[in-house]
Copies of this chain bind each other. A is one copy, B any other.
């Protein structure tokens, strides 16, 4: 059975994995008949955001793996133990967790670094040209994984696109209901909530991303 790794970064758009994007990803994978396993790093979140007010919840701390388990209904494993050889493809939903917990792109922009376990894991797919899908802000990490010249989208935000190009990525503007494909690397990206104004709008690009990965898997 085709097995897909889904890497989460917490649970909540402002400090973790975007919940709608994550659930839509799991739903699309199942509807293709794919099996999946969720992973997340066993690290503290950069911070906790009160999602009602948008403020930092001072004095609160949460663990990325433990919070990701909310989306995964308990079935999530430590990213440090993930092996690319066990999977046919990998997908990263977005949310600020991708830019705060899996990397520090939200703070450092083009000077960011990326979680080494994530880099190692995704490089395991990249070297064999296995399909990989990144959505929302998560593609900002891709130049640090695939290297210069990697083609991707985060939608249309010019500042973010400039930062990605400063890291060696090739940014291509893309509407919410479409994908950008780097065919040489079997890499698919979609803007999702970088542009979406609703869950059904996000679903259009995410479904297309998963469809494309299914195509690549034959």
Contact = CB atoms under 8 A, between A and B. Distances in A.
Contacts of A72: 51
Contacts of A16: 70
Chief secondary structure at chain A's binding surface? helix
Copies of this chain, whole number: 2
A184 to B, nearest CB: 32
Contacts of A73: 13, 19-20, 51, 193
A69 interface: yes
Interface residues of A, number: 32
A43 interface: no
A7 interface: no
Q: Which 7 residue pairs of A and B lie closest in terms of their CB atoms, listed nearest first?
A: A12-B70, A51-B69, A30-B200, A23-B23, A52-B69, A52-B66, A51-B70
Interface of A: 11-14, 16, 19-20, 23-24, 26-27, 30-31, 50-52, 54, 65-67, 69-74, 76, 193, 198-200, 203
